[in-house]
């Protein structure tokens, strides 16, 4: 179930059945006519606010280890509760980090995305891309302090004061080099395959499971990368409230 470098334990996700875990946590893209996306699929490639692909940066060569937590721009890990809202937490986790990089600390409202982003399906699933399109067309998103998270699947879109806006968002090419380059610029919202048992019971270490699969069904925030014992890995926030190291 787990690679030699990974340890597991019982925690808040462990008492879920496999069906409960997949239905309440792994909801990236579900409810939108997709059970899960493969890495090659590009659904809804044209969306409001979508900018040209991310250009190559002029940053110096990538260091062997890089972690945005060391720069104070990763907001606390949150818990999505009994709601398949990983897409909303992923989208706003990356946006909160971008705000911190601009010197504006703020925690943003996932519940607003659940209630108001009608191209997504609240607790039944959604996409970061359509979340960003909503923020773009809405002229911003509100703070969680004024629009708190309830995990309600049938909430009514409420009026609130917008505190963070975006000029657009970019897709990242489906290559490790492109993800390296993007993470060097800011934490990144991305999808992973999260239905291997090691995700549900993870404690520490590098996940290097051969059973990871290729269907993308969970949304996370990538915050860095590293190398240990000749194994390269990504740092990600696995949003029910855990941090993972994923090898590649």
Residues identified as active-site: 80, 86, 218
Distance between CA atoms of residues 243 and 228, nearest Å: 17
Dihedral sign for Cα 153, 100, 29, 141, please: positive
Question: Which tokens go with 196?
Answer: 């291997």
Q: Residues with Cβ < 8 Å from 54, sequence gap 6 or more? A: 170, 171, 172, 173, 178, 181, 182, 185
Per-residue tokens: 247: 């090898």
| Sign for the pseudo-dihedral over CA of 172, 177, 181, 186 | positive
- 153: buried, middle or exposed (CB in 10 Å: 19+, 13-18, 0-12)? middle
Helix (H) or strand (E) run with residue 96 in it: helix 86-101
């Amino acid at each position: 179930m787990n690679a030699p470098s990974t340890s597991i334990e019982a925690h808040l996700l462990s008492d879920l059945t496999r069906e409960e875990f997949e239905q309440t946590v792994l909801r990236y893209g579900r409810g939108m006519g997709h059970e899960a996306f493969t890495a090659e699929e590009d659904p809804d490639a044209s969306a409001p606010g979508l900018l040209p692909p991310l250009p190559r940066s002029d940053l110096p060569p990538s260091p062997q280890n890089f972690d945005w937590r060391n720069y104070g721009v990763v907001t606390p890990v949150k818990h999505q509760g009994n709601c398949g809202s990983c897409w909303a937490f992923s989208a706003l986790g990356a946006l909160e980090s971008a705000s911190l990089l601009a010197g504006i600390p703020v925690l943003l409202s996932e519940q607003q995305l659940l209630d108001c982003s009608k191209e997504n399906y609240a607790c039944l699933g959604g996409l970061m891309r359509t979340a960003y399109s909503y923020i773009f067309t809405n002229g911003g998103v509100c703070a969680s302090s004024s629009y708190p998270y309830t995990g309600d699947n049938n909430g009514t879109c409420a009026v609130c004061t917008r505190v963070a806006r975006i000029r657009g968002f970019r897709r990242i090419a489906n290559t490790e080099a492109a993800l390296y380059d993007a993470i060097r610029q800011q934490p990144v919202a991305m999808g992973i395959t999260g239905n291997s048992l090691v995700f549900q019971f993870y404690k520490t270490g590098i996940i290097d499971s051969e059973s990871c699969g290729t269907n993308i069904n969970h949304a996370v925030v990538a915050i860095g990368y590293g190398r240990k014992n000749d194994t390269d890995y990504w740092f990600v926030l696995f949003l029910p409230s855990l941090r993972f190291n994923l090898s590649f």
